[in-house]
């Protein structure tokens, strides 16, 4: 099944970890929070995106249901 992620804007503390690990999937938005820029995640970026997700200190990166 395709991986689909989003960033909970209330939980993101703008640390930049996800963008540093996986800049092809995560980027800053106008509120200076991280957001997911591709949906669904391309297969070749899934592993990196999961690594970014696991590195988020506030667990702001969630799976879409």
> What's the rounded Cα separation, in Å, for the pair 9 and 23?
18
Helix (H, G, I), strand (E, B) or coil at 64: coil
- The residue among 49 and 61 lying less far from ligand SF4, judged by its C-beta, is 61
Q: Does 14 bind ligand SF4 (CB under 6 A)?
A: yes
With the C-alpha atoms ordered 61, 43, 45, 41, is the resulting torsion angle positive or negative?
A: negative
Q: Does 38 bind ligand SF4 (CB under 6 A)?
A: no
Least distance to ligand SF4 from the beta carbon of 36, Å? 9
Q: Does 61 bind ligand SF4 (CB under 6 A)?
A: yes
């Amino acid at each position: 099944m395709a991986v689909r992620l989003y960033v909970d804007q209330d939980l993101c503390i703008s640390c930049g970890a996800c963008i540093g690990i996986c800049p092809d999937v995560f980027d800053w938005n106008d509120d200076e929070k991280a957001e997911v820029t591709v949906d669904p995640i391309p297969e070749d970026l899934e592993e990196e995106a999961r690594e970014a997700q696991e590195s988020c200190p506030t667990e702001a990166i969630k799976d879409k249901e």
